[in-house]
Amino acid sequence: MKTIKKLLSNPNIVQIIKFCFVGVLNTAVYYIVYLLLLKIGFNYAVAATVGTLAGIINSYLFNKFFTFKSKKKSIAEIIKFCIVYLIQFLSNLLVIYICVNFIGLSEELAGIPPVFTGMIISFLGHKFWSFKK
């Protein structure tokens, strides 16, 4: 119990936990939108694009105010945030493309692996660049 209390007293650990929580929420938003768009007949690339945009909006709001507690009112912060997500988005499309066309995963399952690469890219990008204090 003391170890848990000690870990939770470390602001970096708390920030990582919050980021993971927001990430789960973002992933749910992304994947629900992705599946709904596939269900109504959209191509997986379009579905991934729209799902990613929905996740980005959710991510910006929760990470700005909850995870990184940024008080800045800055266009530069939004631009940096979007650049990090553009990099994440391009990597997501690449991973989905590889999963569908080379590995043979279904379009539905191919939306899952980019979650892990995206998590690493976005945490590091936002912590050390977008919301850097």
Residues 76-101 have pLDDT tens digits of 999 999 999 899 889 999 999 999 99
Q: Is residue 79 part of a domain?
A: yes
- Specify the number of domains making up the chain: 1
Q: Is residue 116 a contact partner of residue 75, using CB atoms and an 8 Å limit? A: no
pLDDT given at position 71: 85
Domain encompassing residue 74: 7-130
Q: Is residue 112 part of a domain?
A: yes
pLDDT given at position 2: 78
| Average pLDDT of the segment spanning 69-74 | 85
Residue 50 has pLDDT above 90, yes or no: yes
Does this model's pTM top 0.85? My answer is: no
| Average pLDDT of the segment spanning 28-34 | 94
| Average pLDDT of the segment spanning 94-116 | 93
Return the structure tokens found at 81.
Answer: 């945030």
Q: Is residue 90 part of a domain?
A: yes
Q: Is residue 119 part of a domain?
A: yes
Residue 47 has pLDDT above 80, yes or no: yes
Q: Is residue 69 part of a domain?
A: yes
Residue 1 has pLDDT above 80, yes or no: no
Q: Is residue 100 part of a domain?
A: yes
For 36-73, b/e burial (b = at least 16 CB within 10 A) is: ebbeeebebeebbbbbbebbbebbbebbbeebbebeee
Handedness of CA 105, 100, 45, 23 (dihedral sign): positive
The mean predicted confidence, pLDDT, of the chain is 90
Residue 133 has pLDDT above 80, yes or no: no
Q: Is residue 12 part of a domain?
A: yes
pLDDT given at position 4: 79
Q: Is residue 1 part of a domain?
A: no
